[in-house]
Each structure stands twice: as C-alpha cells, then as structure tokens.
A and B are shown apart, each in its own frame.
Chain A
C-alpha cells in the first residue's frame, strides 16, 4: 500500500547513514486545511533541516509525535484527511478500536469534569425527546442534537456570561450550554405556559435574554445574522461583549449567511461564526450539494480566519473557540469555525432515516462519541473513577426526569393568549380589534 495515496506523511530517508530525525516544529495544526505541497512539519537530521509536505489536499489529522521527539525513518507522523475521516484518524488506527483519544493537555481536570457533566445533561435531555414525541407528550416533535454536545459546550464555555449566542433550528444544546433551565425548556417543548416562550415557540424558538441567549430560529442561517446584529450593538456601545452565531451545513448554503459574514468582516464586528457540519441537511448529504473544498475554505474567502475542527473533541473545539473569542474581544474582527460533527437521531423526532446507514451511525457512536472520548481521557488522567461516569448519567437522568415532571404538571396556556403581545400597546389592542369588526 502506498503511504502517499492515503495522505500519510512519513519521515523520509535523506542520506544512507540516516536512521532517525528529530521533529523540530509542527507548521500546521490538527484540523487545519492544507493543500498538496504545503509544509506541515520541520525535521532535523545530523546533516540538514528540512520541511515535510502534505501529500494531498485535505485537513491535517492528529500529530503522532511531539516537538523534539526522535523519529525513525519511514515512520508516519501525521495524515492529511479528506471528508469522512475524523481528525483523530491515522492510517494505523483500527476502526474496531474504542473511542479515539483526545488531547486534554493544558486543561483543568476539575473544569473538564464540569464540561462532561454538562454534555451528559444535554445528552440525557436530547435523548428523551424522541420517546416523548412519539408518545405525543411533545406536540409536533422536536429537533434533537444528540451527538453534537461537544460543539455547544466547547464553544459556549469559552464565553463570558454577557456574551450573546444565537442559534438555529437544532438549538437545545446551545440553550442548555448557555445556562437555560431545563425545566423551562422542557415546558416550552410541551407547549405549556411555564415554557420559556409561554408555549408560543416550541423546539426552535426558546430564548433567554437574561443569559445572553438570543434564541433558536426556524429559518436556516438566521441565527448567525441575529448574532451579527448583537455584535454590531456591542461594537457601537463599546461594551466588550462578543456574539456567537451557530449555523449548520445546510445554513452554509444560504445567501444570508455569507451576506452576514461579509458584513461582519467588513465592519470588523466581534462575532464568532460556528458552523456545525453534521453532514446532513435534513436528508441531503452535505457533499451532494456543496461546491468547493469545504465550508471553512469558503468562509476564508471573506478575509477572516477560518478553521475546521473535530467537533467531537470538546477540547479541540474549545481551543479554536477560545482563540476566536479572544480575537473578537480584542477588536480583531470575526472568525469562522467549521466543527465536523454528527447527529445520532434523525432531523426531527419520528423521522424514518433512509439516507444513511446504521453502520455509519454506529461508527460515529463507537469511535467519535464526544462524551465517551472525554470520559476516557478523564479516566486515563485519573480524575474519573470507576462508577463516577454512571453516577453522572444517573444525576442527569434524574434532572431531566424532574424537568419532564415540571412540564407535565404545568398548565396549558389559555386559548385567547394566542392574540396577545403582537405589538406594543396601544397598537396591539388596535391590531387585535382588526380581527373581528362585529
């Protein structure tokens, strides 16, 4: 098998006597988009220093060695990946191995444990929506983001409390990560008066302005625009706040997303645009309708930093988010992050999934699950003991169960409520009166 053909970069033999080389620098980071011929690493032998090049276009996988490691010739050091590969992939990682390792170096373990707790809560919340919808307890159903927890948590926890998040039609994980109370979110899904939008919104329309959460949105790509507007307000006021707008791979094909990104770049607004590429816009595979190399490369055309990141690695997501947030905060303008992720459930509850194989879902679950990967890393680091993960899950399940109870015992809104609050008063009463003249 030719190493070149699968994107692997190896340490070449440059002299007869050479048997090993020292890695002196990584020139590109995991997740970076690279083109064939781009230097990705620098090595040094006793005779010379040389750069190693990417053998094909794609994005860089994980670094298999650290700087200053002594590496024998012929050894693969990194692989250039194409769509469908996870960042953690390398040529010799077997598909049957357990969850791929993530690098938690530099993170506070206690903090990571809190992140894990948050991701598990989101997982438990989102997982229960499917049965609740099937039982008719959530009217009309819901859009679950199971599998995408690391993107929400990795990005949102890079923000300050006053920073703004605006989302799209698959928004619960963002809402929960921004601190929305699971009770009022669940009650909203149930259509009850205690819901965060008093039962007017449902799955796509929960907002919590007190916590800087500017809502989900039923229209693809619009959340990014609303975040852009909030970033403009922050800029005009000099408040130092920044805004994050989430879109999906579907949104990346709407005109408004690129109009807004251009505006944000032209005006140097404190905005972080995060695209959750979960490969499917409802049932249409991203690749079947997307022209160009990647969403991140498309974004780069707007003259802002754009990176692709393994969205199933909360630490990797957090690293790029933190950098983008810093840039925005310092007045250096917007950034774009394409997080490669996956949803385990269908586009919406009750959906018959005929557009992807069960094996594909199983593979994402087995190898790239963001919760399993963080849990494994914490266990390896000794900060997640035996039984502790199960205890976390049980606690989250109890929390979600109590949210369901809260929703179920909450009253339905009164029917006439549907007419209220369309406009401010006194215009609202006048508008109401136009319905019936008699």
Chain B
C-alpha cells in the first residue's frame, strides 16, 4: 500500500531514496545539515549522508549555484536549496545565463536542481514574489510546481534522473498537505499536465496551490449544475497544453487561474496559446484570474483578496456563463 505523506515529507523521502540510489547527488544550502533546511524538507538527510553530501553553505546564492553548475559539468548531480525562491534573484545570472545556456552551447548536460519555497503567505513583499514566469521566459530551464505529495516525490525523481536544470517550486501552503506517494521507482514525468477533475461545462487550467482552490470552486459550481474540468499543468515550462486544448474544444470556455502577477505571466501565455489552438471552439474569451499587479504586503487584511479564492473563481465562471446567456 502506498505511503500517505505530507508534501514536505514526500520531498524528503524522494531525496533520501535518490541519494541512496545515486552517489552523484548532493545538496548545497543554508541550515541544511542539522536543521534539514529552513522548511525541514531535507530533515534527516544530514545524518544519513553526512556533511559532504548535505553541505552547509554561507548565504552566497551566486556561489551556491556556481558550485552546483561546475559540479554538474564535472559529472555530479547537485541540488541547490535556495530556501525561499525569492533568493534566486541573487543568483539570476548563474541560473539564467550559466545553467540554462550550457547545454545549448556545448551539448553538455547540466543536471542541476534548484529548489525554492514559493507562493503567497506571510513576511511581505520580498518573500512572496511569483517567479515562475521569470524563469520560464528563459530558454534552457525546466520550471515545475507540483501540487500533491505524489507529484512532488515523482517529479523530484524525474528531475534528479534527468539531464536538465530544473527550478523546483514548492508552495508554502502545500507543505502540510497529505496524500499517497509512489514507490522508490515511480516517476512522474516532467512536461506532462494531468486532469484533476472531469467536467463538460468549463475548463479551468491552473497549477500549484490554485489546483486545490480550483477544485473547491468546481465543487461549488457543481451544486449549480456547472461541471468544471480542472487541468493541473504541474510543469510550467515546457508547457503541456494538450489536455487543456482538448478540454476547451469540448467545453468552449476556459479560465486560467495562476498565483502570479498578471503581466506577461504564465496565465497570459496559456490564454494566448489556447485561443490560437482552439479559437473556433470558443464560446467566450479565455479569462485569466491572477494576483493584482502589486507587491504582496504584510497585513493579512491587505493580503486578503489578492490571491484568487474558490469564490472568486466560481463567480468568474458564473459571470461568464450568465453574460453569454443574456447576451
């Protein structure tokens, strides 16, 4: 029977299994060896694999990434734990201009995994950036944001056995989510979306925490007889929109829900691609639901209303359907 684990523990189990399987894997990050990382995803790995492979670093993001890149070029499989994904901004050249470009230049694989805690929660504007689109915009990187324990573990394994630099987003509010996980050799492929709920009425395309918010909205809509199909992208780049396009051709209505600032974002990319691929099937414009174009503040009162809620999604869907009927 499958283990039931939290997302955090699923990541830890995936790391432990892969480190046992492949000696080339090591982790670099702050507070790793004793504390197991700021969020505990690496807990126990220090004891199991020692300080050489679970390697404490100073707060030097650029150097940590360069250590990973150079080691990857020399045949290792490094994991760089960036703590908050926001801290990658101190290593942007290393990720975008080094790691992402090397395969293209020299055909040399850079099997490097960069992990960061993402999504909107506390501690204000410098710890709550939505950087998925930032990385996805630059060729040469794989950008993933799993939404379940099984995907977290399975996609981690695919990343660690793959040959590309992967930026691995882990949502702050999903760390404690429990669910079944796969076994030691169950991989979840990168670059493959999944359907989380079947429906005939509308298509909701989303990823990360918003998968769960969208499923909640779908329950709410079902009470009104509106059947929402929910597609979880899982990998932000390269995008897999096959399921979304097929769904849209069936429903005629698509809503893209993304926890990100709106301009030139993942939702914008998905919406543009969907209308190009299924224009003749559309009964309404493809709608986007995202954060507003503002930094995330501290006060919970201020944050409330910025992140799309289940009610926001359900209301947008209802409005769209009603407008179409009355028009």
Contact = CB atoms under 8 A, between A and B. Distances in A.
A166 B70 contact: yes
A260 B63 contact: yes
A256 B63 contact: yes
A424 interface: yes
A218 interface: yes
B98 A226 contact: yes
A214 B63 contact: no
A234 B94 CA distance: 21
A236 B70 contact: no
A161 to B, nearest CB: 15
Given A233-B75, A256-B66, A263-B60, A207 B105 contact: yes
A228 B66 contact: yes
Interface stretch (A74-82, A107-115, A135-143, A425-433): A425-433
B63 A222 contact: no
B169 interface: no
Contacts of A215: 102, 105-106
A230 B74 contact: yes
B308 interface: no
Interface in B87-133: 93-94, 97-98, 102-109
Contact of B66 (A225, A423, A431): A225
Contacts of B57: 263
A169 to B, nearest CB: 12
Contacts of A231: 70
Given A209-B106, A215-B106, A262-B58, A427 B164 contact: yes
B63 A233 contact: no
A259 B66 CA distance: 10
Chain B CB within 10 Å, residue with most, of A205, A228, A431 = A431
A187 to B, nearest CB: 15
Interface string A196-231: 010011000101010000110111001001111111
B136 to A, nearest CB: 9
Contacts of B109: 424
Nearest to B59: A259
Given A205-B105, A266-B58, A423-B164, A164 B74 contact: yes
A437 B271 CA distance: 12
B70 A422 contact: no
A226 B70 contact: yes
A433 B163 CA distance: 19
A229 B71 contact: yes
B277 interface: yes
B76 A233 contact: yes
Contact of B71 (A200, A230, A421, A422): A230
Interface string B50-72: 00110101101011101111111
B219 interface: no
A236 B238 contact: no
B277 A423 contact: no
A422 B104 contact: yes
A233 B70 contact: yes
23 contacts: A197-B106, A200-B105, A219-B93, A222-B66, A222-B94, A225-B62, A225-B63, A228-B70, A229-B78, A233-B74, A233-B75, A256-B66, A260-B60, A260-B63, A262-B60, A263-B57, A263-B58, A421-B107, A426-B191, A427-B164, A430-B238, A431-B139, A431-B237
Given A219-B93, A431-B238, 17 more contacts: A222-B98, A225-B70, A229-B66, A229-B72, A233-B75, A234-B74, A236-B26, A256-B63, A256-B94, A262-B63, A263-B60, A263-B64, A263-B67, A422-B104, A422-B140, A437-B277, A438-B276
Interface of A: 164, 166, 197, 200-201, 205, 207, 209, 214-215, 217-219, 222, 225-237, 243, 255-256, 259-260, 262-263, 266-267, 421-424, 426-427, 430-431, 433-434, 437-438
Interface of B: 26, 52-53, 55, 57-58, 60, 62-64, 66-76, 78, 93-94, 97-98, 102-109, 139-140, 142, 162-164, 190-191, 237-240, 273, 276-277
Shortest 10 CB-CB contacts between residues of A and residues of B: A229-B70, A225-B66, A233-B74, A259-B63, A259-B60, A430-B238, A431-B238, A233-B71, A424-B163, A226-B70
